[in-house]
Structure 1
Amino acid sequence: MRYPAILTAAILALLFCTSGAQAVRGELPPELSSELSAHAAAVIDVNSNRILFEKEAQKRMRIASLTKIMTAIVAIENADVDKKVTVGPGAVGVEGSSIYLKQGDQVPLRTLLYGLLLRSGNDAAVAIAQHVGGSLEGFAYMMNEKAAYLGLKGTHFENPHGLDSDEHYSTAEDMARLTAYALKNPIFKKVVSTQVKKVPWPGEDWQRRWKNKNKMLRLYPGADGVKTGYTKLSKRTLVSSATREGRQIVTVTLDASDDWNDSMNLLDYGFNQYHAAELISKGQKIAPLSKWRRSGLAMIAEKPFTYPLTEEEKGTAEVKPMLTYPVSKIKKEGMRIGIGRIYLKGKLIGSVPLISGVPKEETSLSDWIQVIAEVLGRSGG
């Protein structure tokens, strides 16, 4: 009989605030928005995917070589980076930035990725696309499939390099989300953080030396990526990233005449205005299991949950536990029995699995009220 489980879940739900599941965005500071040269911008916390700042962030715009972020991650995920790529005629003499490929060159895909992301080689982009996708059209299809998978609704790709095309566009927010995803890949992360790369080259007795075009790696303490871009129509575009005290932030600026300073100001804003807050700790009691009160079993967080908050937001997060396992069958510790959904400003920001566990100390009814208050962020102090 499942009624006890349903009843328990209902009672627990009443103890905590309920809300719809929506993304939480940072407040837009008007003074920072007006100071930016960028026509569109976004800032994202990489670990949580929280958008910390936005300016015209959903506007579809030309992105130039920021395209190569998608080119790189699609290639890394769909091919062996140590396999050699044979350069075809279509990759020779491509307009714009180049690493000067020659037809018949056999170059490891990993090396081409450095040429793509450090030197922004359009010829490298074409060689990669033809190797991974079979053709430029085939690879563009893969890029758009990945964009759809990531929920990038304001993005469409027609080529792997970002040269101007009317149906080739993205948004500041989409590029921020794409980059946050890509930076979780260790190969991508290593390449974009590299300032100088020396690579052996077929038919040459010396190594080629590629210096990263991204000046942010030298201008901003802790900078570790990502990509520059420019065409006559897109103007200057830039995706930057930096890590401080284990926390990584990404900024995107589109059509920005002063992109280096824009990016540094946005990174400062992200680090200074938002701080990682542990809303739930591993092993924390979320709610009691009333039927098993004598045995002391409770709903306990299986893992911690951390989220970037402003000073004003601290103490406002709420947790809603959901019991997903029949309470009558919960007879021991360590059983996965539910989900703790975390809300901020009434919007869902994440969840943690809940397991059965015995609290370290017995707690009276008044203490349970205090526990619930602490979980909700409503305790004094």
Structure 2
Amino acid sequence: PPALPTPPPVDTAQRKVGGDALATAGLVIPADAPPAPAVTATAWQVADLNSGEVLGGCGPHERRTPASVQKLLLAATLMPRLDPKQVVEVKREDLADLDPGSSLMGLVEGGRYPIETLWLGLLLKSGNDAANVLARVGGGEKGRQGGVDAMNEEARRLRANQTHAATPSGLDGPGQYTSAYDLALIARACFAREDFRRYIATRVAEVPAQPNKPAFQITNDNTLLDRVPGMLGGKTGFTQLARQTYVGVVERDGRRLAVTLLGAETAPLGSLGEAIALLDWGFALPPNSSVGRLVTPEEKKSSSLAFLVTGLGVAAGLTVMALVVTTPLRRRRGERRGANQP
């Protein structure tokens, strides 16, 4: 594979988001946990999306190339903003820069499709054509770039500090990175939505006919849906640069675990086999196992408010101190003046 570009350095404070133990480029698991499975992924994490506890990981905050798991950030960003019933037209610019051999759902120029169909094509077939259309429509006047800008704004809101999108689809672009920890934050936002859960668990969907193309069906590429008990959905990714990437969520006995992995090789297990092994390891741990936690956007708002209140409190305190200090001085001066008067 081509050499990985050197990512921007991650500062110490960002490495500690979610807990000091997560600030490592190596393995972090609970002290009493069984050994984690041996995997080829260069970064991974298992987290409980319900409780927010991080059960273990390897280089959770290390920047890696995302490939198509980047599409989850697109969904987290634009699914709340776009009307699923809106019908949009595919333009030449949506398809012009896509390799016909890449992952496509099969859109045609001039075709008109409901937004909901595009979400299904994005999540079932990892359609890069769907990603471009959704980003353009969601980007408003700025078009596709506006959609990418919105993705980066959403990453900041979710406190996914190691994530930066350059393309909406996850096709390699300059300065495009994510981390295993960030992917768990993004997955948590996605799987909190009923519509997202419904889309990503769909087995088969129909794409409507167009004047120059008959209707056809697309099937879900996530083979784990029918192999892993409790599988809610997952997203694969691959480029020569990123290698294999994966995000998957499984729910059992009230626990909803997410596995996120980056930089995996196709052998011996591949990303899906490694995901299964890591999920089985996570479910075998006691529910209170933890090496850190997933932060929330609300915490950032709370800390900002606390800072503001503290700042106002300090300012008020300084004002009171100034009054206490200056008033007696004025009295003393007045008293002295009075004492010197005849």
Q: TM-score, normalised by structure 2?
A: 0.71
- Of 89, 97, 100 in structure 1, the residue corresponding to residue 103 of structure 2 is 97
Residue 32 (structure 1) aligns with: 36
Greater helix content: 2
SS at match of 1:77: coil
2:84 equivalent to 1:81 = yes
CA distance in 2, matches of 1:197, 1:60: 34
Contact 1:200 1:207 in 2 (8 A): yes
Q: CA offset at residue 274 of structure 1? A: 3.0
Residue 221 of structure 2 corresponds to residue 221 of structure 1: no
**8 Å CA contact 2:76, 2:189 repeated in 1:** no
Q: Does 1:127 align with 2:130?
A: no
- Within a 5 Å distance, the mapping from 1:150-189 to structure 2 comes to 150-189=158-197
The within-5 A match list for 1:1-381 is 23=19, 27=30, 31-32=35-36, 35-93=38-96, 94-95=98-99, 96-134=102-140, 135-203=143-211, 207-257=215-265, 258-275=270-287, 309-310=288-289
- Closer, same or farther: CA 136–209 of 1 in aligned 2, 3 Å: same
Instruction: Give distance in 1, aligned partners of 2:54 and 2:88.
Output: 37
Q: 2:151 corresponds to which letter in structure 1?
A: M
Runs of 4+ aligned residues of structure 1 deviating over 6 Å after TM superposition are 348-351
**Structure 1 contact 107–201 (Cα < 8 Å) conserved:** no
Tell me the amino acid that sits aligned with residue 274 of structure 1: P
**C-alpha contact 1:92 1:100 (8 A) present in aligned 2:** no
Q: Kindly provide the CA deviation profile for residues 127-160 of structure 1, in whole angstroms up to 9, marking residues without a partner as x.
A: 1111111312111110010000000110101110
Tell me the TM-score normalized by structure 1. Answer: 0.64
Are residues 247 and 203 of structure 1, via their aligned partners in 2, closer, same or farther at CA, if it must alter by over 3 Å?
Answer: farther
Cα deviation code 1:28-56 (max 9, x no counterpart): 758315x1121110111111221111111
Looking at structure 2, the residues matched to 189 and 204 of structure 1 have their Cα atoms a distance apart, in angstroms, of: 32
Q: Distance in 1 between matches of 2:95 and 2:213?
A: 22
CA contact (8 A) 1:71 1:143 kept: yes
- Aligned partners of 1:85 and 1:128 also within 8 Å: no
RMSD: 2.6
For this pair of structures, how many residues does the alignment match?
263
Superposition deviation, residue 227 in structure 1 = 0.4
Q: Answer with 196-205 or 112-121: which moved more.
A: 196-205
Q: Distance in 2 between matches of 1:75 and 1:162?
A: 15
Q: Is the 8 A contact 1:75 1:132 kept in 2?
A: yes
Looking at structure 2, the residues matched to 201 and 145 of structure 1 have their Cα atoms a distance apart, in angstroms, of 35
Q: Which runs of 5+ in 1 are unaligned?
A: 1-20, 276-308, 314-343, 352-381
The answer on whether the counterparts of 2:46 and 2:54 sit within 8 Å (CA) in structure 1 is: yes
Q: Which runs of 5+ in 2 are unaligned?
A: 1-16, 23-28, 300-342
Q: Give the corresponding residue for 1:9.
A: none
Provide the C-alpha distance between the structure 2 equivalents of 1:48 and 1:100, rounded to a whole number of angstroms: 39
What is the CA–CA distance in structure 1 between the aligned matches of 2:18 and 2:164, rounded to whole Å?
24
Contact 2:45 2:58 in 1 (8 A): yes
Describe the shift of the 1:274–1:198 C-alpha distance in structure 2 as closer, same or farther (beyond 3 A): farther
Report percent identity of matched pairs.
Answer: 30
Once residues 34 and 194 of structure 2 are traced to their aligned partners in structure 1, the CA distance between those partners, rounded to angstroms, is 36
How far 1:92 moved relative to its partner? 2.1
2:79 partner SS: helix
Q: 1:224 and 1:191 mapped to 2: Cα distance?
A: 10
Could you tell me how far apart the structure 2 residues matched to 1:274 and 1:117 are? 32
Higher relative contact order (CA 8 A, sep 6+): 2
CA deviation string 1:321-349 (max 9, x = no partner)? xxxxxxxxxxxxxxxxxxxxxxx99xx99
Do the aligned residues in 1 keep the contact of 2:137 with 2:144 (CA within 8 Å)? no
Alignment correspondent of 1:280:
none
Q: Secondary structure at the match of 1:31?
A: coil
Q: Please say if residues 59 and 171 of structure 1, whose CA atoms lie closer than 8 Å, have aligned partners that are also in contact.
A: yes
* Shift of residue 204, structure 1, vs aligned partner: 7.4
